[in-house]
Structure 1
Amino acid sequence: MTTTTSRPRTPSLLGADPLRTALRLDAVVSGANGLAYLAAAPLLADLLGVPAGALRGLGGFLLVFAAGVALVAAGRPVRAGAVEVVVGGNLLWTAGSVAAVVAGRFDLTTAGTVWVLLQAAVVAGFAALQLATLRTR
């Protein structure tokens, strides 16, 4: 008689499929930021110190990125290579954000500096979460 054992499923704050949930959350947050940058560019330009045109460009990019991440999350199954591309994109965004602050790329206000570094930390968190949940598969 042969018995098989499987690794017990542990409850997760991210639900039954933590990788898919992490990707969906990334898509929602990226999409919301993209919409905000597009819709409120003139208001955010003054608050953050980033030109409205740059915010619109970033907003458009974020909407495309969010759509791509949503497609990866919708895959059956979620493809590891596609997740790695998302993680790479998130890490590039994080590095670019920090570099923009350090290099003085924009005339950021204090709020702008805090915002850029905060969103860089959130995006780095998404990358770490996605990579960690990918490795548990």
Structure 2
Amino acid sequence: MATATAPATAPVTRADAKLLRFALRLDGAATAANGLLYLGAAAVFGGMFGLPAALLYPVGAFLAAFGAALLALAGRPVISKAATGVFMAVNVLWVIASVEAVIAGWFPLSALGGGLVLAQAAAVAGFTTLQYAGLRKA
């Protein structure tokens, strides 16, 4: 006997989304905090990591807004699988761009800067993996 399954775009309710909510909140809080840190310390971080401060300001603003949007999604009574998929896709692109930036030498990164970029890429990959697991469980 075949069982019916929910379509991939079906919303996820509170009862079946504990892991997904946790993953979205963790990603949102870390991303927003990172963005605010970039905005507040772009000049210091630029020199320390080998990244232009002129880059860190818009990246910080993007991260703060992206993190806030993740937190808003996690707080909704029903989580859209499609919206979660969009956030996950952006995360995957972030990871790819981060690794490419280090490998291709897009910026004159210090050793600390290269380590930071790769560590952030690993954290984002971890957040995305948790989100994927949360979607599968839901």
Over alpha carbons, which structure has the higher Rg?
1
Shift of 1:37: 0.5
Aligned match of 2:113: 112
| 1:37 and 2:38 correspond | yes
TM-score if structure 2 supplies the norm length?
A: 0.86
State how many pairs are aligned: 122
Aligned match of 1:86: 87
Contact 2:19 2:133 in 1 (8 A): no
Shift of 1:40: 0.3
CA distance in 2, matches of 1:83, 1:75: 12
Detail structure 1 runs of 4+ shifted over 4 Å in the superposition. none
| 1:60 and 2:61 correspond | yes
CA distance in 2, matches of 1:19, 1:91: 17
Percent of residue pairs identical: 44
**Higher RCO, Cα 8 Å, sep 6+:** 2
CA distance in 2, matches of 1:95, 1:64: 20
Tell me the SS of whatever aligns to 1:106. coil
> Any gaps of 5 or more consecutive residues in structure 2?
1-16
TM-score if structure 1 supplies the norm length?
A: 0.86
Deviates more, 1:92-101 or 1:71-80: 71-80
CA distance in 2, matches of 1:18, 1:128: 11
| 1:50 and 2:24 correspond | no
Q: Deviations over 1:27-72 (max 9, x none)?
A: 1000011011000011101110001110111101101111211121
| 1:19 and 2:20 correspond | yes
CA distance in 1, matches of 2:35, 2:53: 13
